[in-house]
Amino acid sequence: MSDNINKVPTMAEMAAKGESPEVLFWVGCAGSFDDRYKKVTVAFIKILNKVGISYAVLGEEETCTGDPARRAGNEFLFQMQAVANIQVLDGYGIKKIVTACPHCFNTIKNEYPELGGNYEVIHHSTFLQQLINEGKVGLKGGGEFKGRKITYHDSCYLGRANNIYEAPREVLQALDAELVEMKSCRTKGLCCGAGGAQMFKDAEPGNKEINIERTEEALKTGANIIAAGCPFCMTMMRDGVKAKEKEENVEVLDLAELIAKNEGL
Amino acid sequence: MQYLPQIAFLVIVAAATYFLYRRITQIRKNIFLGKASNRTDRKSERWKTMLLVALGQKKMFKRIIPAFLHLLIYVGFLVINLEVLEFLIDGFAGTHRIFAPVLGDFYTVLINVFEFLTVGVLFSCIAFLIRRNVLKVKRFSGEEMRKWPTLDANLILIIETVLMLAILTMNATDMLIQGQDEHYAQTGEFFFSSFLVPLFEGMSLSTLIFVERFAWWFHIIGILGFAIYVTYSKHLHIALAFPNTWYSNLESKGKIENMPVVTNEVKMMLGMPTEGAGDPPAEVARFGAKDVNDLSWVNIMNAYSCTECGRCTSQCPANITGKKLSPRKVMMATRDRAEEVGASIAKGGKGLEDGKSLLGDFITKEEINACTSCNACVEACPVNIDPLSIILEMRRYVAMEESGSPASWNGMFQNIETSFSPWKFAPTDRFKWADDLKKDA
């Protein structure tokens, strides 16, 4: 167990000491800059510190994976980002990466190998599930979320893109909460509306915003917590809940935040 | 005169085979307007995918009612067509039910099985017609389904219904003729068509023979005609579902195909060693896709395999919320354009140089810009069609050849270029999230 729950080791510091961590925590742009998602980053850092795993972050050396550029069609920009990131990652001899962003996860895991970047990449939902299975967090019983209704919103880039449906749900089950499913879930999960670089532009003309459609599905479950595992989903679902004027009763929380709260971190 | 029916039969079969061959050759050419694809790896996985998804209908069973009705038609089609073998031999040799004396009681069992499936197909066709025209299931409508696509769907079901009725009529009259005309072998009782017997009882022998012969000819000409029709129709999925699933994308759905040409340029810009550095630069027609020849041939085969069921569109978050994007329309447009270009080239026309293109004349930017790349359409397709890859290739064309992406995307590109984040934040602020933590540390 770590003696300091608030430390944030960087790769540069560790390299200077001649150390190399077991795993790199890839924070992502949303985790670094988005005020709401920074809280997720902090929650995950606290979990990492609590379980005493050897990790580090890149800090200022991290840059965008290129995911939104590639999905918006700008292949040059994507590859410039990817190749530069791979140089940094390989420079530190990184083998294993954990990230709280499904878009970063998908890009580094599936798209970097062809450009020469080969790493073991896991999303924080899988990482948390492993910690739970190893008995390092959760399962204390009688925690803050015991018996509360939680619905899980599938991120497209975790679910359909990478077939990760159960890990996030197993994390929620460790909270001893009541997991309720939306009408569209798992392989049929409805997108929050932000994928494919939609996060960075207004929606095309239509008769409804996608996040409203999805939020309505979530609210119908009667859950007062919407669990997410993606920064874009988080933004879209929070906006949806606000638009529906339900922010008094319904919270949108990331899996890491739920676990951290449950652990009293 | 005795050989006249045989000669007529030979001519009809030969003509049908010729038209079918010509049409298949044309479709093949249209598909290969597309660029090469390297999907020949992982062969055992490909065979397995084909067996499960095409032969085994695995993905159909996500919706149980249409899956069951479709299964009846599918099994009926596969099994009943065994009888065509007897039709062909009888037609060429001038025999009648040549297998009846050879197989004996087993023949009776066989034909009864066929009849059971015939009734199954009839049931499903009528149920499907009701779903389309009376219940008006939502996914069968939509902007792209006006006129021909709707007529095509109904025609297929009506033709199949009529063909099935012809089999039952043929069998019913055959039973009545047996014993009266020695050319008609004894076959035993056919369960389902015997319900039709009362309709024909009391007819003279010559009328019965006329009805039986008419039904026989109608059925075989109907099948041959339908086979040709299918090549112009969405119904082509009955054949192309198999290669289409074999050539499925086996990678994670989230992975977008790499552009090696770009990799080379990027590595050169960064002063890194490139593969085949000494070679002259490969000729790049275009970045991304403007027209069908910029797509891969698998994309175009996808389009020909589409049976317009609309499962993709009904799952598309953009379409559900009223945006113009419909993945089904993307596939239909791709097919229409491939047909148009192929037909023009065959006639010695302008082909791809006709002043039109897939993007612009068939698919608009507004449609491709609405996609969230969520893969719901890809997941929903019962034959593993991938509309997303066509959409993304078009976005590549717009971004790299036209610099015509939406202004906010151009802004996002600029942010990544200058501050290495899609949002405009100073790169030096990237690690500020840790400041509070560090204070407490």
Task: Split chain B (441 residues) into runs of 10 and give each run's mean pLDDT.
Answer: 88 97 98 94 97 95 94 93 92 93 94 96 97 95 92 97 96 94 91 95 94 96 97 97 98 96 90 68 78 98 98 98 98 98 96 96 98 98 98 98 97 98 96 90 72
B433·A41 Cβ contact <8 A: yes
Domain-located, residue A24: yes
The CATH number given to whatever domain includes residue A145 is 3.40.50
B376·A41 Cβ contact <8 A: no
A74·B405 Cβ contact <8 A: yes
Q: Which of A68, A70, A193 has its CB closest to that of B317?
A: A193
Cα distance from A229 to chain B (closest Cα, Å)? 15
Q: What is the pLDDT of residue A140?
A: 62
Same domain, A157 and A113: no
Same domain, A159 and A248: yes
Question: In terms of CA atoms, which chain B residue is nearest residue A188?
Answer: B376
Same domain, A185 and A115: no
Q: Which of A75, A194, A202 has its CB closest to that of B262?
A: A75
Query: What mean pLDDT is predicted for residues A187-197?
Result: 97
Query: What mean pLDDT is predicted for residues A197-224?
Result: 97
Q: What is the pLDDT of residue B3?
A: 87
- Nearest-angstrom CA–CA distance, B113 and B119: 10
Domain-located, residue A210: yes
Name the 3-class secondary structure at A12: helix
Cα distance from A121 to chain B (closest Cα, Å)? 14
Token digits for B412? Answer: 């996002």
Q: What is the pLDDT of residue B81?
A: 86
Same domain, A150 and A48: no
B427·A63 Cβ contact <8 A: yes
Same domain, A177 and A204: yes
Domain-located, residue A74: yes
Picking from B294, B323, B430 by the largest number of A CB atoms within 10 A of its own CB, the best residue to mutate is B430
Same domain, A48 and A75: yes
Q: What is the pLDDT of residue B403?
A: 95
Domain-located, residue A3: no
Name the 3-class secondary structure at A46: helix
Question: In terms of CA atoms, which chain B residue is nearest residue A185?
Answer: B376
Sign of CA dihedral B85, B88, B92, B97: positive
B379·A162 Cβ contact <8 A: no
Cα distance from B20 to chain A (closest Cα, Å)? 39
Q: What is the pLDDT of residue A1?
A: 41
Q: Which of A6, A60, A193 has its CB closest to that of B430?
A: A60
Q: What is the pLDDT of residue A2?
A: 43
B373·A71 Cβ contact <8 A: yes
User: In this model, does residue A3 exceed pLDDT 70?
Assistant: no
Cα distance from B184 to chain A (closest Cα, Å)? 56
Token digits for B436? Answer: 């509070």
User: In this model, does residue A52 exceed pLDDT 80?
Assistant: yes
Phi, psi angles (nearest 5°) of residue A59: 65, -130
Same domain, A142 and A257: yes
Strands (E), chain A: 23-26, 55-56, 96-99, 120-123, 149-152, 178-180, 225-228, 251-254
A41·B272 Cβ contact <8 A: no
Cα distance from A44 to chain B (closest Cα, Å)? 12
B270·A83 Cβ contact <8 A: yes
Q: What is the pLDDT of residue B284?
A: 63
Chain A hits for B417, CB-CB cut-off 8 Å, are 77
Domain-located, residue A5: no
Domain count, chain A: 2
Residue A72 lies in domain: 11-128
DSSP letter assigned to residue A19: -
Same domain, A124 and A214: no
A73·B399 Cβ contact <8 A: yes
A200 touches chain B (CB under 8 A): yes
CB pairs under 8 A between A and B: 227
Same domain, A225 and A252: yes
Q: What is the pLDDT of residue A141?
A: 61
Cβ distance B266 to A81 under 8 Å? Answer: no
Which of A103, A128, A153 is the C-terminal boundary of a domain? A128
Cα distance from A58 to chain B (closest Cα, Å)? 9
Cβ distance B153 to B130 under 8 Å? Answer: no
Domain-located, residue A167: yes
Q: What is the pLDDT of residue B278?
A: 54
B399 touches chain A (CB under 8 A): yes
Cα distance from A67 to chain B (closest Cα, Å)? 10
Same domain, A107 and A153: no
Which of A128, A153, A179 is the C-terminal boundary of a domain? A128
Cβ distance B301 to B272 under 8 Å? Answer: no
Same domain, A146 and A219: yes
Question: In terms of CA atoms, which chain A residue is nearest residue B437?
Answer: A6
Same domain, A48 and A116: yes
Q: What is the pLDDT of residue B269?
A: 87
